Structure 1
Amino acid sequence: MMNPINSLFGERLEYIPNSELHVTPTKKHVRAPTLHRLGIQAFLPLLVEGRAICLHPLVCKGFNADFDGDQMAVHVPLSLEAQAEARLLMFSHMTLLSPTIGDPISAPTQDMLSGLYVLTSGNRRGSPLWLRWRLDQRVIAAREAPIEIHYESLGTYYEIYAHYLIVLMAERPTQVFHNKVIDGTAMKRLISRFIDHYGIGYTSHILDQVKTLGFRQATAASISLGIDDLLTIPSKRWLVQDAEQQSFILEKHHHYGNVHAVEKLRQSIEIWYATSEYLRQEMTPNFRMTDPFNPVHIMSFSGARGNASQVHQLVDTGYLTCRLVEVVQHIVVRRTDCGTVRGISVSPRSGMMADRIFIQTLIGRVLADDIYIGSRCIATRNQDIGVGLVNRFITFRAQPISIRTPFTCRSTSWICQLCYGRSPAHDDLVELGEAVGIIAGQSIGEPGTQLTLRTFHTGGVFTGGTAEHVRAPSNGKIKFNEDLVHPTRTRHGHPAFLCSRDLKWNPKMAPYISAKRKGIHITNLTRTARFLSEACDLVFDAASRGKQFLIVGTKNKEADSVAWAAIRARCHYVNKKWLGGMLTNWSTTETRLHKFRDLRTEQKTGGLNRLPKRDAAMLKRQLSHLQTYLGGIKYMTGLPDIVIIVDQHEEYTALQECITLGIPTICLIDTNCDPDLADISIPANDDAISSIRLIPNKLVFAICEGRSGYIRNP
């Protein structure tokens, strides 16, 4: 077989299999599935012994290849045109950047990366490998100053005279490096800097040497994993004891009836989840303080290995790629300029976009208008935007910046070069004839196969010890009223009884019940009228003093009535869903309200329409979500003075928050409620539409009367 690459350049060979060609023949290797263009790459062949293809480790990421039996097809381009295409467009050293976002894709991984991580982590005395010197100075110093290797042998530290990564750039002594530990993220940034300063050709030569350096250092470090390397933090014991103590206290509260079973389950899961999260956060500093060269720490935090989660590939995403390509395969760059004068305005000062997103949005685009700072023009129309120009925009605080995008291109079935901008694959303006539609479809579909589905078991220790059966606290028999049950059968044919309504009622409601007929409790309307009168007097007095009210009712049948009554009385209301902590965690709610008001202002002024389509869609979804849950309290500037709850049983969380904060409450209570929880409890049927409309309307009328008096006598 053939060795498809000896280096990322591909060296000219003495042996030429086809004597008719006057140049070294190229071979194209294809690994299925070809989800993006990097699944097909060209190499210079080298005949080797054996029946396996020897593949360069840095191109495996582009192929998404590993060494567990993968197969590759070998294609031989015969014509001179096909040979030229393979050499100019498909050579492996031309595919260092991802065609999706432009990040380096041919980067050291696994053993190479762990070796570089150990090499650049600094020695035991804390002396860094890289200093803020120029390369020519550092190369001279490296020949005189010893650099310590970070592994031990028989208690002796080896010292060598080496220059490592710095010698790779000795021919270009102009770059300044910072003291930095090389992990996966730092390596990608370093490769990007190499490409920006020295081009793809010289960078591929550097990467070939970095690969060799990483393997050599990984071999010298001899990283292995043993049971003793799995360290346990000292605080784990008392953290687990504290969690067990909290669970024991919670169990006692549940036994005495202070905590509901559902609430007990939720709090238990929160206790153990918080404990596991704290342990996870403490692992990193524990590794760094005890043994920074622990193999688990090196493999996990260098980015070499460490994903122990169960991985399921989303195979359906491959079919998504096919469908996307069918839709956009006709979109090709056919002209240099379509002549459009439209553009999308991007501004970092609007508060809607972070600096990182602002930079990513601008880099690679083309300006639609000239940029002026005062009377000085710092950038002209149709100028492509690079890192230097973005830094100038940030320095001079230029805004707004109008850029050209494919959405503003005047063409219908193709796209122009300036509206598309730079190609991420080679960091230059896209070339004419580039099939950008197919590239876009592949870029969307290909990452889907790399996604992972993780099932987080948040129950942890608690759910593992759940009892297999539940014991009743006392002996007895359950008797059902014959008028309320009807004989029926389950779907398996077993005999059963069907209840016509809920049989639960609270014994504390006995004074509020006048009679019981056929299992139905009839409310004492005299008490209802008396407590309703007290509530009307309370809200009238509060409204006459300018107090604020909040009406809560989230059941579907009462949502519209609650909203109508609250708007009529100019009160705040919640009629969709009560978000936990809406009052007790008021600082968070206030932050969400500020965000909601800002988004509403941006929408009214048309600011959302000037953003890129993806960002605008995301912000509109946020606005719709906030409108649904916070639309009734968008003008609330502080905690309410009185809260009116339509259904105490349904809005139990809201009632508990009011009790915690000491806010007076007025509640409609049915026979399954506790009348002692609210300040004023109005007995009524909270399932009847007429009851839901009548009582809140009486309260709203009293509020309106009180507000009119407050306006007349401020």
Structure 2
Amino acid sequence: MSQKGIKSLTISIASPEQILSWSKGEITKPETINYKSLKPEPNGLFDESIFGPSKDYECYCGKYRKVKHKGKVCERCHVEITESIVRRERMGHIELAAPVAHIWFTKELPSPSKISLLLDITYKEVDQVVYFVNYIVLDEGNNEYDGKSIFNKKEVLDLTSPKNSIRSRNKLRRTLRNIQERIEEELNHEREALIQDFDYRLAVTYDQMLKDSNIPFSVKDVMAFIEKHTGVRFGIGAEAIHELLEKLNLEEEHEKIKQAIQNSPNAYDQKTKRLLRRLECVRWIKDSGSKPEWMVMTRIPVTPSETRPIISLDGGRFTTSDTNNFYRKIIIRNERLKQMQATDAPEILLDNEKRLLQEAVDSLFDNNSRKKPVVGKDKRPLKSLSNHLKGKQGLFRQNLLGKRVDYSGRSVIVVGPELKMYEVGIPALMILKLFRPYIISELIRKRDEFGNEIQPICANIKLAEQKILAQDDEIWPVVEKVIKQRPVILNRAPTLHRLGIQAFEPKMVDGKAIRLHPLVTTAFNADFDGDQMAVHIPLSKEAVAEARSILLASWHILGPKDGKPIITPTQDMILGIYYLTKEKFPQPIEEMILKDPVQARIEFINHFHIFATQDEAIRAYKLKTIRINDVIGITTKAFDNKSFSKEGILVTTVGKIIFNQAFPTNFPYINDVKNLYGDNQFEIIGMHESILDYLKAYNLKEPLTKKTLSTVIDYLYKVSEIEVVPQTMDKIKALGFKYSMISATSISAFDIPSYDQKYEYFKETDELVAKLREFYLDGKLTDDERYTKVVQAWSQTKDKVTHDIEKLINSDEYKDNPIVIMAKSGARGNTSNFTQLAGMRGLMSKSYNYDQKNNSGVIKDTIEIPIKHSFIEGLSVSEYFNSSFGARKGMTDTAMKTAKSGYMTRKLVDSTQAVVIKGNDCGTKEGIIVREIRNTKDNTSIESLKDRIVGRFSINPIYDTKNKLIIEGDKLITNEIANMIQNSGIREVEVRSPLHCSSLYGVCQKCFGLDLSTNKLIETGTAIGVIAAQSIGEPGTQLTMRTFHTGGVAGDTNITQGFERIKQLFDCIQPQENEKAIISQVKGTVDRIEKDSNTNGYNVVIKYNKDNFVSYPTRPNAVLRIKTGDNVVAGQKITEGSIDVNDLLKYAGIENVRHYIIKEVQKVYRMQGIEISDKYIEVIISQLTNKVTITNPGDSGLFVGETISINEFTEVAQSMLVNKKKPPSAINQVFGLDHAPSKSGSFLSAASFQDTKKILTDAAARSQKDMLIGLKENVILGNLIPAGTGLKDVEEVIAYGEEMYKKQY
């Protein structure tokens, strides 16, 4: 421990002495409390003399009360006078009358338990010995037959099962005959003497009993007899295991196993695998300093009494923690066993009692892994100590990783358009509750800020509370003052990414709802249909500074996942801006254009107004001389600070002038969407140019849409100071709302375009479907082929209808149609909605079990009869039925998807939470070679080269095709340089990547590059692991659940896509047989491709190493990716489908695996229109692929089969080479998300993810030390996380907070 908290944490097996040192006394009675006096019973489970007083500074008998006696121990009741909180930390113990094996070390399914590995006996045999079923040999004694010992040490004698007992009986009989022979020799074979000899007669009797399995006999007696004569010792129960473990020589065992592994002929058979497991286990315990016999306990600790309380219910009844029931059972059985031992009870009764004690202790530690768990009154298994750790409700996830907090509240949200970007409206009632301590402190304050005495508003706290309760007028000025002192933090569940929590300055509002700024809704993914949000208050100075400087909403302009603006206006605001920036010819010209376009152009000059200043133009609009969208001219001199490519008359509209006033004065004038901030000379009529000629050729410019506005905001962020952006956004928001109201856009059924071309298409398709049905009935088509062709036909019909409607809404006739305006501007709706409103609904999907084993290669999850009517026409009954079928499937899919996506995000965070930016440069010379990602199937670009390299560091200098230097090595590739690289025809670039960062923990700044949310070099201490996980997990819910159908055959594109594909890639799940791509295992040339008539597939023959051939048979109807004569490399696809990652690793190496996963993940997200930076996917993949398994330890001291990180392995290998020793060798591993967290090296982080019991058992066996490197481990221990401001000085954080506070407007 240090001043800053715990530095590291070690877990190990507790020795009996250690348990005693924790304990404050032994518990001997099963009683808990006295139900009359409600006081704890002495020597019971709540004894005050052991656990501490129930009431602060008051002993049990009442002799001492009050703080002044602190530290004394009462002479009468032996209770120490102290605070009652010690009852949460003081422990007791129970001395066991017989040793008991710890269930975690005896039952550890599916893997063999630690005891079974140490003693080299099977898991089942350990179980039989511990539960008094079978005996085990403790000492083989002097007992041979044919020169061999009859019994081996640690051999388990099975006398219970009819099948296996014959062998054990025969061995015992052989031993008894040996004894008979010995006695015969001693007595010279004299018959009389033998008959007289008691031991001889006994040996004969026992032999007879063992021969006839129906005769009952005492095993104990037989074994005692054998021990007396041969020295062979047998044992049963945990005592026997304890003795064997005690006598185990770990050094000898270690050498023996090592030797056996070296002599093993096959490195991959089960026997060798078990030897490796044993070696690992023996080594752990040997190196940990623990003794193996500590796995069998002679005393058990009793947890502090406050952690397992008794609670009184109404009606005088009590309820208690299940742990108390377990302890009671143990104490009762333990005391009964002690009494039996004292009265010399028969061995069989003692054994039975010991077994009961073993079971009682087992159920305390782990009730659920027993065959018959102990159940409560409601027949449900009681919660044991293991259950308190495991699962969502366990200690790790419920109490240590997620805590409930004070100073918080929640309410429904409504829109607050009048707020500034960093403000939130909090209801007055809520503020009175949340800020209560601060308001009271201000009301009773006796000195002002300068230390002068003042008259307090209230004399004491009580009066202040009464005033707050009565909502007295005097308190409101104080409340206004108090809420300015600190921001509040808002959170909307589910918090899928870091923008789900942001800080705002509070503003008091009436009503009971929280008012939220409309621009931050995208980040929170909030809408105003009843969503609720939680409010929290930062308390400490550094928390307030952090909230203001880092969490404040106005600094979150760009989304972290793609670096695009996340505060882009939406819906009404877009509509308003679209209306404001639209261009129209003056009204008379508009009417004339329809009749005589040429004359209208000439007439245009007579209605073209030119203004000298902005105010003049706006006044003309207000006086209704011109309309807001009319094309006008204004001199470039009217704009003071804006730079134009030439002087003259700028052709624009009043709307655009008003819009541009929202931007900073030095920002380029936004006039043409196609030419946002480039050369605007074509928008200006120069000094000596003819206005008439210009106007004759003039074409109206497109208005701003959601997309183009986003680009403008992006540019604004790049060129302006950070505090300018939110101010500008607020102005744009106000304009948007104002002009969407002025535009008076409405919507009615008559606005939907009329369209009836579709009936011709229907006629054609219906005829085709009927034809296909005939073919099927004649046996010319299979049902699968018919279904596929029908679905394909209707899909094509719908595509035609969609195309027609797109053409229709883009025609001049509909340019002022309100619905079209909504869709075009990006405010609401899209072409697909128009198709359904005016055209046809098309094919609907139906529920389908995708995991079923079906013989047909086609997934039939589409109803083959389409819905021909559109919504405006109305659906028929059968169409409505089919439609609701699809709609319900959509709803259930969404619900399923949310849960699955949330679980995947959790796994992603768990895998990467320890990845933090460490240091500026790790000095690596390795990087990844980046190319454009293309979809090889249809040769379309998925992600351009520019997108992949921007914001990264180059490794080597980059030259263009003419050998001219574009950028030096180790320099940042900016947007401009990335464009130059792409335009110069360079196909691939080598850049730094998190995959090759050689920092021991985390990633360095240069390997990561720019921070997408700030466009600056990423800061040290940024928790990019968590950001990467959130960026990939957050859009997970937008991915489709299943396959997209192009209506082709199953082998064509119906391979898993969408969310399931991401899961398949990250969890390293093997693709199903009909989806799996065949890959080449060698580098060579395709020699020939033969059609296989039996299987309907192909045989692809590849020639390699001059004259070696290898053949790959494909599945029926496989789509080939190669042709004869092609050169192939190892890992290249031969057929279409998904590659099995483990196969790719085996034949093509780790780099190919990494590139394949990046490409496939990007394919899934970008097909859905979701952009995610490669760097995040690389961070995840680096965590899945950064481990190696040792194949040959060399002189390193590592062992075969051990898994360590690549960076650790490199360090070990380098130090071996430096010291001229033999370095180890290893192979790369790929772990799925399910296994990556448990390989993190931190047992706290791993145990709080999954398999809690196994991870803690392993960690305890090796006395593992957790250095608390990751974030999760530190959260569990209540430290500040080693990231972000957790690494900075408190004063530095506060100073930064104050500096940023000044930037609020």
Shorter-normalised TM range: 0.5 to 0.7
1:102 deviates by 0.9
Which residue matches 1:616?
1156
Which residue matches 2:362?
none
1:231 deviates by 2.1
1:429 deviates by 0.8
Report the CA distance shift for 1:137/1:233 in structure 2 as closer, same or farther (over 3 A): farther
Which residue matches 2:523?
62
Report the CA distance shift for 1:259/1:566 in structure 2 as closer, same or farther (over 3 A): farther
User: Secondary structure at 1:337's aligned position in 2?
Assistant: coil
1:60 deviates by 0.6
Alignment of 1:111-130 (within 5 A): 111-123=572-584
Amino acid across the alignment from 1:168: A
1:576 deviates by 2.1
User: Secondary structure at 1:381's aligned position in 2?
Assistant: coil
Report the CA distance shift for 1:268/1:15 in structure 2 as closer, same or farther (over 3 A): same
Which residue matches 1:210?
732
Amino acid across the alignment from 2:1004: C
User: Secondary structure at 1:206's aligned position in 2?
Assistant: helix
1:33 deviates by 1.9
Among residues 565, 569, 583, which one is paired with 1:104 in the alignment? 565
Among residues 575, 578, 586, which one is paired with 2:1117 in the alignment? 578
**How far apart are the structure 1 equivalents of 2:500 and 2:1008?**
24
The superposition leaves residues 513-534 of structure 1 with CA deviations (integer Å, 9 ceiling, x where unpaired) of xxxxxxxxxxxxxxxxxxxxxx
Which residue matches 1:72?
533
Matched, 1:52 2:513: yes
1:612 deviates by 8.8
1:216 deviates by 1.9
The superposition leaves residues 400-428 of structure 1 with CA deviations (integer Å, 9 ceiling, x where unpaired) of 53211101110132211111111111111
Report the CA distance shift for 1:564/1:377 in structure 2 as closer, same or farther (over 3 A): closer
Higher mean C-alpha deviation, range 282-291 or range 192-201: 192-201
The superposition leaves residues 526-582 of structure 1 with CA deviations (integer Å, 9 ceiling, x where unpaired) of xxxxxxxxxxxxxxxxxxxxxx99533362xx979x6689999x9999742225xx8
**How far apart are the structure 2 equivalents of 1:596 and 1:292?**
55
Matched, 1:7 2:423: no
Higher relative contact order (CA 8 A, sep 6+): 1
Report the CA distance shift for 1:237/1:363 in structure 2 as closer, same or farther (over 3 A): same
> Does the aligned pair in 1 maintain the 2:581–2:655 contact within 8 Å?
no
Which residue matches 1:185?
707
Among residues 731, 753, 756, which one is paired with 1:231 in the alignment? 753
Matched, 1:342 2:926: yes
Matched, 1:379 2:901: no
Can you give the 5+ residue segments of structure 2 that lack an aligned partner in the other structure? Answer: 1-410, 427-475, 594-599, 601-610, 631-652, 674-701, 834-886, 1048-1087, 1134-1144, 1163-1305
TM-score by length of 2: 0.34
Alignment of 1:506-521 (within 5 A): none
Matched, 1:317 2:901: yes
Amino acid across the alignment from 2:662: L
Matched, 1:93 2:551: no
**How far apart are the structure 1 equivalents of 2:663 and 2:1124?**
49
Matched, 1:284 2:806: yes
> Does the aligned pair in 2 maintain the 1:5–1:45 contact within 8 Å?
no
**How far apart are the structure 2 equivalents of 1:596 and 1:16?**
85
User: Secondary structure at 2:661's aligned position in 1?
Assistant: helix
Report the CA distance shift for 1:450/1:601 in structure 2 as closer, same or farther (over 3 A): closer
> Does the aligned pair in 1 maintain the 2:1097–2:1116 contact within 8 Å?
no
User: Secondary structure at 2:723's aligned position in 1?
Assistant: helix
TM-score by length of 1: 0.60
Matched, 1:443 2:1031: yes
Report the CA distance shift for 1:257/1:553 in structure 2 as closer, same or farther (over 3 A): closer
**How far apart are the structure 2 equivalents of 1:279 and 1:446?**
34
Which residue matches 1:515?
none
Which residue matches 2:979?
391
Matched, 1:553 2:553: no
1:597 deviates by 4.5
1:25 deviates by 2.4
Amino acid across the alignment from 1:107: T
> Does the aligned pair in 1 maintain the 2:423–2:517 contact within 8 Å?
no
Larger Rg: 2
Report the CA distance shift for 1:611/1:183 in structure 2 as closer, same or farther (over 3 A): farther
Which residue matches 1:169?
663
Among residues 933, 951, 955, which one is paired with 1:368 in the alignment? 955
Amino acid across the alignment from 2:949: L
Report the CA distance shift for 1:262/1:368 in structure 2 as closer, same or farther (over 3 A): closer
The superposition leaves residues 257-280 of structure 1 with CA deviations (integer Å, 9 ceiling, x where unpaired) of 766665444433332221111101
Amino acid across the alignment from 1:411: S
1:320 deviates by 2.2
Amino acid across the alignment from 2:739: Q
1:57 deviates by 0.6
> Does the aligned pair in 2 maintain the 1:142–1:162 contact within 8 Å?
no
**How far apart are the structure 1 equivalents of 2:1038 and 2:1006?**
32
Which residue matches 1:418?
1006
1:171 deviates by 0.5
1:603 deviates by 6.1
Matched, 1:269 2:791: yes
The superposition leaves residues 181-203 of structure 1 with CA deviations (integer Å, 9 ceiling, x where unpaired) of 43332222222122122244322
Task: Tell me the number of residue pairs that the alignment of Structure 1 and Structure 2 aligns.
Answer: 502
Report the CA distance shift for 1:598/1:48 in structure 2 as closer, same or farther (over 3 A): farther
1:104 deviates by 1.2
**How far apart are the structure 2 equivalents of 1:616 and 1:439?**
22
User: Secondary structure at 1:74's aligned position in 2?
Assistant: strand
The superposition leaves residues 485-506 of structure 1 with CA deviations (integer Å, 9 ceiling, x where unpaired) of xxxxxxxxxxxxxxxxxxxxxx
1:85 deviates by 0.8
Report the CA distance shift for 1:577/1:303 in structure 2 as closer, same or farther (over 3 A): farther
**How far apart are the structure 2 equivalents of 1:595 and 1:147?**
69
**How far apart are the structure 1 equivalents of 2:1149 and 2:945?**
16
**How far apart are the structure 2 equivalents of 1:596 and 1:566?**
10
Report the CA distance shift for 1:393/1:231 in structure 2 as closer, same or farther (over 3 A): same
Amino acid across the alignment from 2:921: D
Report the CA distance shift for 1:242/1:404 in structure 2 as closer, same or farther (over 3 A): same
> Does the aligned pair in 1 maintain the 2:660–2:669 contact within 8 Å?
no
The superposition leaves residues 12-47 of structure 1 with CA deviations (integer Å, 9 ceiling, x where unpaired) of 9997747579x6521111112222111111111111
**How far apart are the structure 2 equivalents of 1:37 and 1:571?**
52
> Does the aligned pair in 2 maintain the 1:9–1:92 contact within 8 Å?
yes
Give the CA RMSD over aligned residues: 4.7
1:89 deviates by 0.6
User: Secondary structure at 2:998's aligned position in 1?
Assistant: coil
User: Secondary structure at 2:506's aligned position in 1?
Assistant: coil
> Does the aligned pair in 2 maintain the 1:139–1:170 contact within 8 Å?
no
The superposition leaves residues 232-288 of structure 1 with CA deviations (integer Å, 9 ceiling, x where unpaired) of 324223222332343455556667776666544443333222111110122111012
Report the identity percentage. 29
Among residues 904, 917, 926, which one is paired with 1:333 in the alignment? 917
> Does the aligned pair in 2 maintain the 1:27–1:76 contact within 8 Å?
yes
The superposition leaves residues 621-655 of structure 1 with CA deviations (integer Å, 9 ceiling, x where unpaired) of 99xxxxxxxxxxxxxxxxxxxxxxxxxxxxxxxxx
> Does the aligned pair in 1 maintain the 2:934–2:942 contact within 8 Å?
no
**How far apart are the structure 2 equivalents of 1:4 and 1:169?**
19
> Does the aligned pair in 2 maintain the 1:553–1:575 contact within 8 Å?
no
User: Secondary structure at 1:168's aligned position in 2?
Assistant: coil
Report the CA distance shift for 1:72/1:147 in structure 2 as closer, same or farther (over 3 A): same
**How far apart are the structure 2 equivalents of 1:406 and 1:566?**
37
